């Protein structure tokens, strides 16, 4: 079973489940240049699985929000400490409608649309989760207008959750509902540059160097 | 002057120069998911400038090596703690040949070749440095064979170095010689996937969800 397989991997460099450091968000004081930049399997195994099981997380960096209550510009991206520029992670529990399945990813002013096929997330040779990439469109499908907001939605492979850890009847829906999302605003090249980024004549030139 | 301009920016979220935390490499014990992922201006202002001026760095993560003594596979990439996958940063001091300028970027078995134009690195509206992207080729120019090794070479804008901090006669060459390099091995799609990554039939399917 995948769960015991993962536990047997504890000799690896990467720790899984609860074998992690115990850090408090407020105590974390990182040197310049360090940020939250998890690998996909770390996000699934060390954060999402622990969240679903109600266990302690490696760090209290990812807050839980009702994602589809927000249009992307209203999301608290800037409050995400030690994140990359224009990027934040959130836990989200998607609404489950018994007759229809999971609710659509609609917001007040637009919708998130999946792009491409889901990607499998591996830890070693085990599929530990799946990643879906979505783009936010303003308006209503199919006439929405594409925005620069991108979401990577991660869900766990249900077979990783120990059968006795949750009510068996709800395990599949619970696991399917709980996701962790990376939200990212993709800046255009114009956004990246200050106004008229011409090289200033005042700046001394670097000494000539030989080509190669 | 740029130096005093930067000092006057200390009300910004980003600290510059020595106004940083004091961390020791061995004491740094990051929660899962955190890694060294500096923004370009942080790398230049908080690491390279301090290195050139002989001042304390935010963290002792970047070692100084004689970069061109190594073919890329021999570089100590895996020793780089808290880095991204297949990625490491090094300080390098390029050899300066008085009659020719800076030495070519040749290694024992190949050479690093610049690609595209240098990029300016901004902090606010000030150009604090420049980034050059290079690709490693096996063999000798112009018949080398392209490899998946990529370098981002950062140098500081010489006008940022306070005039009284170094010998005026050597400041330009010294600043031009000292660089910080990000070395990265770009995996092919085949490298990323374990053998035959087909979805296992044993894995329970996620509940059907409505499209959107």
Find the farthest-apart pair of alpha carbons in chain B and give their distance in angstroms, rounded. Answer: 71
* Contact check, Cβ <8 Å, A61/B32: no
Distance from B148 to chain A by nearest Cα, in Å?
18
Q: What is the pLDDT of residues A117-150, one digit of tens each?
A: 999 999 999 999 999 999 999 999 899 999 999 9
Residue A171 CA to residue A158 CA, distance in Å, equals: 8
Q: How confident is the model at residue B200 (pLDDT cuts 50, 70, 90)?
A: very low
Question: For residue B206, which residues of chain A lie inside 8 Å, CB to CB?
Answer: 130, 155, 158, 172, 175-176
* B203 or A42, higher pLDDT: A42
CB contact under 8 A, B46 and A28: no
* Residue B174 confidence (pLDDT): 64
ipTM of the complex: 0.74
What is the pLDDT, as a whole number, of residue A111? 97
> Which residues, at least 6 apart from B20, have a Cβ–Cβ distance to it below 8 Å?
A31, A32, B46, B58
Of the pLDDT bands very low, low, confident and very high (cuts 50, 70, 90), residue B171 is low
pLDDT category at B189 given cuts 50, 70, 90 is low
CB B4 within 8 A of CB B40: no
C-beta of residue A112 within 8 angstroms of C-beta of residue A134: yes
The answer to whether the CB atoms of B31 and A120 lie below 8 A apart is no
Domain B41-195 homologous superfamily, CATH: NAC domain (2.170.150.80)
- A146: which 2 tokens? 């594409």
> Rounded to whole angstroms, how far apart are CA atoms B103 and B116?
20
- Two tokens at A134? 């979505």
Q: How confident is the model at residue B211 (pLDDT cuts 50, 70, 90)?
A: very low
CB burial readout A103-127, b (16+ within 10 A) else e: ebbebebbbbbbeeeebbbbbeebb
Whether A43 has its CB under 8 Å from any CB of chain B: the answer is: yes
CA-to-CA distance for B102 and B99, rounded, in angstroms? 9
How would you class A65 by CB atoms within 10 Å of its CB: exposed for 0-12, middle for 13-18, buried for 19 or more? middle
pLDDT band with cut points at 50, 70 and 90 for residue A25 = very low
Mean pLDDT of chain A: 77
- Is residue B125 very low, low, confident or very high in pLDDT (cuts 50, 70, 90)? very high
Task: Of A48-57, A126-135, B49-58, B195-204, give the lowest mean pLDDT range.
Answer: B195-204
**CA A45 – CA A68 distance, rounded (Å):** 24
CA distance B211 to chain A (A): 7
Contacts of A194 in chain B (CB under 8 A): 122, 124-125
Please choose, from the candidates B59, B58, B64, B63, the residue with its C-alpha nearest in 3D space to the C-alpha of residue B17: B58
Question: Which residues in chain A have Cβ-Cβ distances shorter than 8 Å to B124?
Answer: 194
The dihedral sign for the CA sequence A38, A186, B193, B153: negative
CB atoms within 10 A of CB A184: 20
Report DSSP state, residue A55: P
To the nearest whole Å, the CA of A102 is away from the closest chain B CA by 5
Share of chain A above pLDDT 70, in %: 69
pLDDT (tens digit, 9 = 90+) per residue, B54-67? 899 999 999 999 99
Range 152-211 of B in CB contact (< 8 A) with A: 155, 157-159, 172-173, 175-176, 193-195, 197, 199-200, 202-204, 206-211
8 Å CB contact of B38 and A20: no
**Percent helix, strand, coil in chain A (nearest 5)?**
20, 30, 50
Tell whether B81 lies on the interface with A, counting CB pairs under 8 A: no
* C-alpha to C-alpha distance for B148 and B111, rounded to whole angstroms: 13
**A13-17, A197-201, B140-144 — which one is most confidently predicted on average?**
B140-144
Residue in A111, A200, A210 nearest the CB of B100: A210
Contact call for residues A76 and A48 (beta carbons, < 8 A): no
pLDDT of residue A172: 55
Q: How far apart are CA B203 and CA A126, in angstroms?
A: 10
DSSP character at residue B208:
P
* Angle at alpha carbon of residue A114, lines to A151 and A45, rounded to 5°: 55
Write out chain B residues lying below 8 Å of A15, CB-based.
Answer: 32
Residue A191, pLDDT score: 54
> Tokens 């996958």, residue?
B85
Average pLDDT over residues B92-108: 84
Domain ranges of chain A: 41-195
| Chain A nearest CA to B199, separation (Å) | 8
Alpha-carbon distance of A41 to B32, in angstroms, equals 11
Q: What is the SS3 assignment for B97? A: strand
Q: Give the Cα separation of A185 and A142 in Å (integer).
A: 22
């Amino acid at each position: 079973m995948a769960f015991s397989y993962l536990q047997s991997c504890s000799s690896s460099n990467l720790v899984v489940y609860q074998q992690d450091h115990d850090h408090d968000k407020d105590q974390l004081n990182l040197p310049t240049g360090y940020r939250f930049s998890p690998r996909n399997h770390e996000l699934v195994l060390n954060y999402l699985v622990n969240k679903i099981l109600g266990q302690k997380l490696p760090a209290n960096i990812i807050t839980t929000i009702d994602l589809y209550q927000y249009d992307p510009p209203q999301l608290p991206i800037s409050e995400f400490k030690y994140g990359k520029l224009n990027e934040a992670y959130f836990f989200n529990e998607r609404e489950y409608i018994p007759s229809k399945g999971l609710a659509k990813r609609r917001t007040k002013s637009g919708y998130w649309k999946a792009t491409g096929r889901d990607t499998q997330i591996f830890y070693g040779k085990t599929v530990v989760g799946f990643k879906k990439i979505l783009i936010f469109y303003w308006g209503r499908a199919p006439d929405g207008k594409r925005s620069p907001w991108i979401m990577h939605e991660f869900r766990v492979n249900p077979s990783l959750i120990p059968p006795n850890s949750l009510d068996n009847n709800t395990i599949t829906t619970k696991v399917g509902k709980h996701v962790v999302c990376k939200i990212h605003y993709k800046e255009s090249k114009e956004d990246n540059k200050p106004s008229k980024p011409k090289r200033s004549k005042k700046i001394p030139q670097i000494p000539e160097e030989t080509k190669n």
